[in-house]
A and B are shown apart, each in its own frame.
Chain A
Amino acid sequence: MKGRQAAMAVRVAVVAVFLLLLEVLCRSGVISPLVMIPPSAMLISLCEMLLAGDLTDDIVRTFGTVAVAFAAATVVGFAVGALVHALPRLRRALDPILASYYSVPFFVFYPLLVALLGLSVLPLIAIAFAFAAPAVVMSTLLGLDRVPPVLLKVARIHRLGPASTVFHVVLPAALPSILNGIKLALAYAFIAVIAGEFILSGGGLGYHIAYAYESFDNKTMYGLMLFVLVSAILLNGLLHMWEGRLLRRRQR
């Protein structure tokens, strides 16, 4: 435990030193203000925009899209994972897709989706879903594979019915892997939505960043970037903490 706290302290120090270094380099002009503005200026710019309410629409739009895609990816991914696990023949057929799924540079399909679904949030949701769901499917499969057979035997000895076997034995045993998939799904949904907004969209945080970049508005651009980075890290940290709590409770 002590080692972990020490690592945490050093980690915070490393990040702080890095930010400080960036600040000094920017302020002293080693990094030209045309390239990057100092981190403190990014923060100020972000606060100004947040207070003025300039970002509210974009935030609602982006996070709404992420939430819908993430929820759908988690539910559908889990259901498909469980189904495929129950049908070995189907699984063998799907194996090649799952194995090479993430090797396809996904954003090449985005224009296609825009053409199919129109320029709205639908193609964004579709691409974020398509990017996130397979991670849940794969981790569900992995988790179900890793349920120790001895636990299933115990369930049979205790004469548990199918429903209670699933709820009391299979799901808890598969939980760590499934949680991992859920964490990935959130990160992937976020990446896909922002990237999609960046490439082709009329709104949202990603679009706003691209727009600020094209109009050489470094102040706005870096403020927004900071917001996206911090919220991605925070969201991920929250899921991480939730995962830790669930897993600790399991160990008791």
Chain B
Amino acid sequence: MIQMKNVMMKYDNGVVAMKDLNLEVDPGEFVYVIGPSGAGKSTFIKMLYHELTPSEGDIVINNYDFKTMKPSEVPYMRRLIGIVFQDFKLLPRLTVYENVAYAMQVIETPDKDIRPRVLEVLKLVGLEQKLRRFPSELSGGEQQRVSIARAIVNKPKVVIADEPTGNLDPETAEGIMSILERVHDNGTTIIMATHNQQMVDEHTHRVLEIAGGRLVRDEKEGSYDSEA
């Protein structure tokens, strides 16, 4: 599903944010990416959706080899991925319904197929009553649920979540986590960067720990803190 080979990321200012990164993620896995602030988690996540291009090494996602991929193929590669951000990144001028439908319109889905699917995912995240609200009229947790609905509406193979519970209280965070678990149960690969120790310890999955730009731990059914 995802392969990273000898990936190194060096910014223009000379800072090396990531080096010697080698890993594979199988289809249907749930992977946490943990580590202190500035460790390189965001760089890792951004490289996955091609917002950043590695300086060296190669990334392959579902047959899209980033090294040989043409710029015009990038949007199509991104359609395999659903992205959830800490700050939600919803379009403020669109309603809840439109924000989710937009992701389907972009890939030129016929109109008749859009409405039932959008209603289905909004029901899944528990927002079927707030279709016509604008993001500014929603709580943080609700906005994050819209963001998840948008990420999964096209049935992506991978959902990448960058600190999705970072701005939320524990109870709301738990709600978001249970939605992601449900998406995972449907067979979607989840890669989630997080600081939330309780979450990682309670919902055990594979843990990748990044520190100083290196992968320092890769543990199946791991916990937030290293056992060693």
* A-B interaction: no
Question: Residues of A at under 8 Å CB distance from B?
Answer: none
